[in-house]
Structure 1
Amino acid sequence: MSTLGRSTVTVGGLGLGTAPLGNLYTEVTDEQAHETVDTAWRHGIRYFDTAPHYGLGLAERRLGAALRDRPRTEFTVSTKVGRLLEPVRTATGDDLAHGFAVPATHRRVWDFSADGVRRSLDASLARLGLDRVDVVYLHDPDDHAEQAFREGYPALERLRAEGVVGAIGAGMNQTGMLTRFVRDTDVDVVLCAGRYTLLDQSALTGLLPAAEARSTSVVIGGAFNSGLLADPAPDATYDYTRAPAELLDRALRMKAVADRHGTTLRAAALAFCAAHPAVASVLAGARSAAQVRDCAEQFAAPVPSVFWHELWDAGLLPPDVPVPVEEPS
């Protein structure tokens, strides 16, 4: 377990990301969602990340239902603020334009104001059926930097000071603004999605060194770059779109190295993210019991050091990035 920054909130090395439980791309039944969370629990996962954005609140509702009978002191939940969900008068169509196979019953309204932060958190607690969450992230404030820093972040600081939440931070798919949060604020943790993987180490440029220097924790999401590193194939996705040919080729070459050394690309992808000293947890999104079981097993599997050396020799990985140290047998 790792403690997030200077807070008292702890997380395990592997957490469950719940965007798939909000019907990301395709539908998941309530039963499948519940079984996914139950399987994660059986495999020792105690950190669960969610957001109102995921399925217009569906992921939060499903996560809360699955955790309802679990001892509250035994798990950590993070959610996000910045998008308020407002009901529409007449629901027509679906939400697939935003990536979720759910009826378009609500619309997202960007709001990083102090009032918006509190309203969003209250609504999340109602959907989760919890009296508190442990971590709150400002969610994707890319185009709302001024309001996020001037109003949203101070609101989170107040919530933390009041004891309403234990840790605060920001979650994004870019590193520049996250680095600013680390350097210019007192966040406990940042969630960086897709920018520290076997295919993209851009977080090494500023974010991870800054976090290490400031004793700020980093949670890594998107370890598989939305699918390419889980199963490199011609129709695989990278950053939620079809993978470019060059990256597909790199992923396939990495997979061939993994095959030669008796490991898997999935195990290597998870191990790589976890190896950096600033990283407290790696989130794996799963939509089924089988997927979360596989993630847990891959995360626990050792990756031989010869795998990393071959990636370096082949120019598939920069020579200066941290990699796991193989435990002596």
Structure 2
Amino acid sequence: MTPRRRPLGRSEVPVGELAFGAAGIGNLFTPVTDAEAEEAVDAAWDSGVRYFDTAPHYGLGLSERRLGRALRDRPRDAYTLSTKVGRLLRRAPGPAGDDLAHGFAVPATHHRVWDFSAVGVRRSIEDSLERLGLDRIDIAYLHDPDDHAEQALTEAYPALARLRAEGLLGAIGVGMNQAGLLARFIRETDLDAVLLAGRYSLLDQRGLAELLPLAAERGVGVVIGGVFNSGLLADPRPGATFDYTAAPTELLHRALRLKEVCERHGVPLRAAALRFPFGHPAVTSVLVGARSAAEVRDAAAMLRHRIPDGLWAELKERELLPPGVPTPEEAR
């Protein structure tokens, strides 16, 4: 049975609670074979996932190519696909080693060029469609415009808005790992969605201060990524990472306390981390990166795991969550 989908923000583009993040099948940090990538997408489909997210940045286009191949024979109206703009891929003049400096275990056949111009946005969409081998992209996000905010606001956003008006995109948004600039985009543009990574989790609620209330007020859909904060909330242990670097001792101890409370209620920490963002009414979907079929199945099972209301109450009582943070039982 396919889980219920609902529109993302004010758009008519449907998304489910769980989205497949395709950075992993772009060889994020370590290689994944073509077969493993296809198996991961198949497992997502079999688990009821119908929203898939990728980007040119992920593996220098490898993620888009693999995701497109895996989805090509699926009914096109049965799923939602998002990719991103802001980095164009230019072929490297010659052999240049690998791309691990950018986090991807792929040959450095191309280099990335930041481009938030109107021409760059249209070129990016055209290139992505070619790599995907699909007839359309449903959602386009401006990708990490942190250092390019003015051009993204004055050139890239209007270009995406025109593509949306022409019916070539169903929804447009911005994806970042900071909340402040996302809030500015909501205030100054007519976005459908934002993708907030790592800033609304059991360990980090910075998105709650301004962004999430503003999104709810303006009818902007919020997709939450990084609910495990790059690993610490998936498996808190010495050496675990938080935001892709070694977790500070204080955060590790906090994660271990979160895990202890969860286990007392018979809930895996991963399940609580996945369910937590849905306490806020602006949150529509949670995006989970996966590189294998096993990881996908685990995420789907964790999101279905029943969580007693008493868990959220105890987390607040023990000051592991702020007293005013909305929790899922309040959203029912």
Alignment of 1:136-151 (within 5 A): 136-151=140-155
The amino acid that maps onto 1:10 is: P
User: How large is the RMSD of aligned CA atoms in angstroms?
Assistant: 1.2
Displacement over 6 Å in runs of 4+: none
Alignment of 1:1-329 (within 5 A): 1-325=5-329
Alpha-carbon distance in 2 for matches of 1:88, 1:44: 39
**What is the CA deviation profile of residues 28-71 of structure 1, one whole-angstrom value per residue up to 9, with x for unaligned ones?**
11100000000000010000000000000011011001001100
Alpha-carbon distance in 2 for matches of 1:214, 1:105: 42
Alpha-carbon distance in 2 for matches of 1:251, 1:28: 29
Alpha-carbon distance in 1 for matches of 2:245, 2:217: 34
**What is the CA deviation profile of residues 179-203 of structure 1, one whole-angstrom value per residue up to 9, with x for unaligned ones?**
0111110000000000000000000
TM-score when normalising by structure 2: 0.97
List alignment gaps of at least 5 residues for structure 1: none
2:280 and 2:331 in contact (8 A); partners too: no
Alpha-carbon distance in 1 for matches of 2:95, 2:107: 7
More moved, 111-120 vs 315-324: 315-324
1:326 CA drift (Å): 8.6
Alpha-carbon distance in 1 for matches of 2:325, 2:200: 10
1:4 and 1:11 in contact (8 A); partners too: yes
> 1:213 is paired with a residue of what secondary structure?
helix
Alpha-carbon distance in 2 for matches of 1:237, 1:291: 18
1:309 CA drift (Å): 1.4
Alpha-carbon distance in 2 for matches of 1:122, 1:303: 43
Aligned residues: 328
Alpha-carbon distance in 1 for matches of 2:32, 2:176: 25
1:275 CA drift (Å): 2.2
Alpha-carbon distance in 2 for matches of 1:302, 1:53: 36
1:302 and 1:326 in contact (8 A); partners too: no
1:107 CA drift (Å): 0.4
Going from structure 1 to structure 2, the CA distance change for 1:115 and 1:322 (only over 3 Å counts) comes to: same
1:76 CA drift (Å): 0.1
> 2:263 is paired with a residue of what secondary structure?
helix
2:117 and 2:156 in contact (8 A); partners too: yes
Alpha-carbon distance in 2 for matches of 1:117, 1:96: 26
The amino acid that maps onto 2:148 is: H
1:135 and 1:166 in contact (8 A); partners too: yes
More moved, 310-319 vs 132-141: 310-319
1:327 CA drift (Å): 11
> 1:169 is paired with a residue of what secondary structure?
strand
2:271 and 2:303 in contact (8 A); partners too: yes
Identity of aligned residues (%): 66
**What is the CA deviation profile of residues 128-183 of structure 1, one whole-angstrom value per residue up to 9, with x for unaligned ones?**
11111100000000000110001000000000000010000100000011001111
Alpha-carbon distance in 2 for matches of 1:170, 1:200: 20
The amino acid that maps onto 1:29 is: T
2:192 and 2:220 in contact (8 A); partners too: yes
Alpha-carbon distance in 2 for matches of 1:83, 1:92: 19
Alpha-carbon distance in 2 for matches of 1:326, 1:192: 22
2:234 and 2:270 in contact (8 A); partners too: yes
**What is the CA deviation profile of residues 197-228 of structure 1, one whole-angstrom value per residue up to 9, with x for unaligned ones?**
00000000110000000011000000101111
